[in-house]
């Protein structure tokens, strides 16, 4: 049971740590100290909802159609390997992340932007609903896997929002993103290998 919780936590973390539009938005809000709590809570709850939908929906489908499990496994491995390649390419050509210089936004405008970065991003559905849902189906304790995945999301977004200001000098250096993307590439490739081994 603890193994399922840990697997959910590490799998989720490997997927959400990638530098994407949602993470960049949370980082920028943290750097600017603007509506950080609302953004962090919204992102964490949205991920928890999507993970739950993925685990409930795909778990049921996989149980009814056991032949789908190999397709999900191979599809997930291919997706993870593609993500690993993209992260490795970013590691070879890193860029710094700095907050945009613009006037402050209202809470309403910030929340609308946060929801757009979350729900209009096709990768969020691939990561949370399809990939994590498919991975959860391989565990006897799939809801513990889901709890671990949701916990990883919450920890990540809290860390981004709260730690962004302190990390501002580090985040301005491309070498930081080189190391981060290198770790992401290695982790995703390792998870992909475990799926097809």
Domain boundaries, the chain: 2-196
Q: Residue 92 is encoded by which pair of tokens?
A: 């070879």
DSSP one-letter string for the chain: -HHHHHHHHHHHHHHHTS--HHHHHHHHHHHHTSSHHHHHHHHHHHHHHHHHHHHHHHHHHHHH-TTHHHHHHHHHHHHHHHHHHHHHHHHHS-------------HHHHHHHHHHHHHS-HHHIIIIIIIHHHHHTTSTTHHHHHHHHHHHHHHHHHHHHHHHHHHHHHHTSHHHHHHHHHHHHHHHHHHHHHHH-
pLDDT (tens digit, 0 to 9) for every residue of the chain, 197 residues total? 788 888 889 888 888 877 667 887 888 788 778 899 999 999 999 999 999 998 888 656 665 777 776 777 787 778 778 878 887 887 888 666 555 445 668 999 999 989 988 888 767 777 888 888 888 878 888 899 999 999 999 999 999 998 887 877 877 778 877 887 787 788 778 877 877 77
């Amino acid at each position: 049971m603890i193994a399922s919780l840990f697997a959910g936590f590490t799998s989720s973390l490997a997927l959400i740590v990638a530098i994407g539009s949602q993470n960049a938005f949370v980082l920028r809000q943290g750097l600017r100290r603007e509506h950080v709590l609302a953004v962090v809570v919204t992102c964490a709850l949205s991920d928890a909802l999507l993970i739950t939908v993925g685990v409930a929906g795909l778990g049921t489908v996989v149980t009814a159609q056991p032949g789908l499990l190999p397709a999900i496994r191979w599809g997930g491995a291919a997706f993870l390997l593609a993500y690993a390649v993209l992260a490795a390419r970013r590691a070879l050509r890193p860029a710094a992340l700095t907050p945009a210089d613009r006037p402050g936004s209202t809470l309403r405008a910030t929340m609308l932007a946060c929801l757009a970065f979350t729900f209009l991003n096709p990768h969020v559905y691939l990561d949370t609903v399809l990939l994590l849902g498919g991975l959860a189906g391989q565990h006897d304790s799939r809801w513990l896997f889901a709890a671990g995945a949701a916990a990883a999301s919450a920890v990540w977004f809290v860390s981004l929002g709260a730690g962004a200001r302190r990390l501002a000098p580090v985040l301005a250096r491309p070498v930081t993103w080189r190391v981060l993307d290198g770790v992401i590439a290695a982790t995703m490739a390792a998870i992909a290998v475990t799926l097809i081994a």
